[in-house]
Structure 1
C-alpha cells in the first residue's frame, strides 16, 4: 500500500507543477470534477479530441501561412478555434500564445504570425507530453489499486 501512496503523492506533485508552470488552469480542475465512475475516461477522451483537433488546426495554419496571398481572416478563424478549445480544457499556455497570434493576424503581420505559429507548436508539443505523462501517472495509481485524489 506504501507504493500506492507514493504514486498518489507523485501524481499530486506533478499536477501541482503543471499548474505552477502555467500549463494548466482551473478549467482543467473543473473538467476533472465532471469525471466519475459512469465516465471514468472523460478527461482523457476530451484531451485526446483536443490533441487531434489541434494538430489539424496547426497543420492548416502552417499551410495558410505558406500561401502566396495570405488570408488573415481564415488564419484568425483557425487561431480563434484553437484558442477556444485550449481554453475549454484549461491549457493556459497555448491559449495565451493564441491571443498574441490573433493580434498579429489583426495587424496582418506575417512575421509575427509565423513566430506565433512556432510558439503554438512548441507550447502544444510541451503540454501534450506533460498531459500524456499525467495520464500515465493516473493509470499507474489505478493499476496499483489506488484512487485518483481528485478534485484537488
Structure 2
C-alpha cells in the first residue's frame, strides 16, 4: 500500500541521514586528529631545530611578524636569505679559487654580509661559522677560509632542507584546516 511505501521511504531517508551524520562526524574526528598530529610534529620539529643549534631567538621574532595578512612572510624572507646565501657563497668561492692574490677584503666583506643576513633570520650555525670565517679572512688564512666556506655551504644547505620541511608541515596543517602553533 501507499502508506507503507511512504513509511519505508521515510525509514530509508532517516537511516541514510543518520549514517551520513555519523560518517561526517567520523571524518571531522579524523581530520581533527590529523591536524593535532601535524601540529605536534610541527612543534617537536621546531624545538629540535632550536636544540640542534640551527635556529636562535631571532627566528622566533621573525615568526611574530607573520599574520593572516601575510601568511607566507617567514617563508618569503627565508627564501630571500637563501638566494642571498647562494650568491655570497658563489662570490666567495670565485675569490678563493684564485689561490694566489686572494682578495681577502672582498671575501671578508661577503662573510660580513652573510653574517648579518644569517643573524636577521636566526640562522645560528651559519652565523657562528661566519665569525670564524671572518677571523680567517682577517689573518689571510687561505686554508682556514676554504674550510670555513665548505662548512658554511654545508650548513646553509642543511638549514635550507630543514626549513623547507618545516614550511611543508605548515602547509599541511593549513590545508587540513588547522592553525600553525606559535
Residue-pair matches, total: 150
User: In the alignment, what sits opposite 1:38?
Assistant: 69
User: In the alignment, what sits opposite 2:130?
Assistant: 98
User: In the alignment, what sits opposite 2:163?
Assistant: 131
Bigger Rg over Cα: 2
Runs of 4+ with >6 A deviation: none
CA separation in 1, counterparts of 2:138 and 2:110? 13
Deviations 1:21-53 (A, max 9, x none): 000000000000010111111100000000111
Unaligned runs of 5+ in 1: none
Match of 1:27 among 49, 58, 62: 58
Shift of 1:58: 0.4
Question: TM-score normalised to the size of structure 1?
Answer: 0.97
Match of 2:85 among 42, 54, 63: 54
What secondary structure sits across from 1:13 in the alignment? helix
User: In the alignment, what sits opposite 1:11?
Assistant: 42
What secondary structure sits across from 1:145 in the alignment? coil
User: In the alignment, what sits opposite 1:143?
Assistant: 175
Question: TM-score normalised to the size of structure 2?
Answer: 0.82
59-68 or 84-93: which moved more?
59-68
Shift of 1:125: 0.7
Q: Which has the higher contact order (CA 8 A, sep 6+)?
A: 1
User: In the alignment, what sits opposite 1:112?
Assistant: 144
What secondary structure sits across from 1:48 in the alignment? helix
CA separation in 1, counterparts of 2:69 and 2:178? 18
Question: RMSD of the alignment, in Å?
Answer: 0.5
Unaligned runs of 5+ in 2: 1-31
CA separation in 1, counterparts of 2:177 and 2:69? 18
